[in-house]
Structure formats: C-alpha cells, structure tokens
C-alpha cells in the first residue's frame, strides 16, 4: 500500500506535467521561498512563519526586523511590491516583535492596522522595523517602518494588537 506522502508526491508530479514552462518557473520560485524558511539551529526559539508569510517570502531577523524578498509572489501588475504584501510584512513584523515578550500560551492578534504607502517597494527586498509604542496588559500599540535596501521609506504602519490571556496566567491571577 502506498502511503499518504507518496500519494501526494505522485499527485503533484501529475499536476506538474500539465504546466507550461513559465508556470514551472513560477512554481520553482515559490518552492525556493519554502526552502529559505527552515528554522535555523542558531535561532531555535523563532516562531515558525505561517503559510502566507512563507508564500510572500517573509523572514524574521535576529535583530527584531523582518524582511520580504521581492519577486513574482508579491509583485503587482506594475512590477513593484503589492500593497497587501507590504501590509502583511508590517503586520508580521509587529506581531513577531510582540511575541518575543508574551507568556506561554498567550497569542497575539491584530485589532487594527493602518498603513501609509510612501514610495514604490522595489529592489530585491524590503525591511520592516517595528517599535512598540505602548504595551498594556492586553493591548499593544506599535508602529513599523518599511524601507528598501537603500533605506528609502516605503511605508509606515500604525497598529493595535490584542494579547490573549493564557489559562496559566489567569489561574495565577486568581490565586
């Protein structure tokens, strides 16, 4: 009996045979983004990137910034970074910066996020630098600057994030 993994591989191979050359190139590019996303042994505490972040080419840096490789996965019709991809980069960067200081079992959720787009996002990558403006018990207000490799300001984000209470934290508060 063929196991589930083998079945999935065979199904993918069959689908690959139906793709045109340019579609195979696009798929190879997307797969390369996944290969870049393995959690490194020198940064084992990193929270794994979610599917959308991986698809867009977003990675976390140890200095607290996040970056997004630019390519066909996040380009708009005009060949520059699509606004939604820049928004997601800022959201991910802020979320991961907040996750560094939460208790076990707590989660970080976006309540609202506003982004001003200032310049075209172009080059090979964009860098998001989040700053926590205020941290309360259950909410965090943060901003994030998105720049290109030359340091040109591409976007500025301002958001409010909610930190869920973990069961462990609630039990400690009541005892």
DSSP 66-112: EEEE-STTTB-TTSSB-HHHHHHHHHHHHHHHHHTTPPTT--EEEEE
> Are 54 and 34 in contact, with CB atoms under 8 Å apart?
yes
- β-sheet with 125-135: strand ranges across: 58-60, 66-69, 125-135, 139-148, 153-163, 108-117
Query: Please, which residues bridge with residue 139 across strands?
Result: 162
Residue 169: pLDDT band (50, 70, 90) is very low
Which value, in Å, is the radius of gyration of the alpha carbons in the chain?
A: 19
Residue 31: pLDDT band (50, 70, 90) is confident
CA within 13 Å, CB half, 19: 13
Which tokens belong to 131? 């700053």
- pLDDT score at 30: 79
How does 109-121 read in b/e, with b if 16+ C-beta sit within 10 Å? eeeebebeeeeeb
Query: Please, which residues bridge with residue 66 across strands?
Result: 60, 128
At 53-108, the pLDDT tens digits run 989 999 999 999 999 999 999 999 999 999 999 999 999 999 999 999 999 889 99
- In this structure, the strands spanning 108-117 and 125-135 are unpaired
**40 or 61, higher pLDDT:** 61
pTM (2 d.p.): 0.81
Domain range annotation of the chain: 1-36, 49-164
- pLDDT score at 29: 82
- In this structure, the strands spanning 139-148 and 108-117 are unpaired
């Amino acid at each position: 009996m063929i196991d589930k993994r083998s079945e999935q591989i065979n199904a993918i191979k069959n689908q690959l045979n139906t793709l045109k050359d340019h579609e195979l190139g696009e798929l190879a590019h997307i797969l390369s983004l996944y290969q870049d996303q393995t959690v490194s042994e020198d940064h084992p505490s990193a929270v794994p990137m979610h599917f959308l972040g991986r698809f867009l080419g977003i990675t976390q840096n140890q200095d607290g910034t996040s970056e997004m490789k630019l390519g066909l996965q996040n380009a708009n019709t005009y060949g520059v970074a699509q606004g939604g991809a820049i928004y997601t980069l800022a959201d991910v960067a802020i979320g991961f910066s907040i996750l560094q200081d939460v208790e076990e079992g707590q989660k970080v959720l976006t309540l609202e996020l506003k982004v001003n787009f200032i310049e075209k996002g172009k080059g090979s990558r964009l860098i998001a630098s989040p700053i926590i403006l205020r941290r309360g018990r259950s909410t965090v207000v943060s901003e994030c600057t998105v720049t290109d490799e030359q340091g040109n300001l591409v976007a500025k984000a301002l958001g409010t994030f909610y930190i869920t209470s973990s069961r462990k934290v609630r039990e400690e508060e009541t005892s």
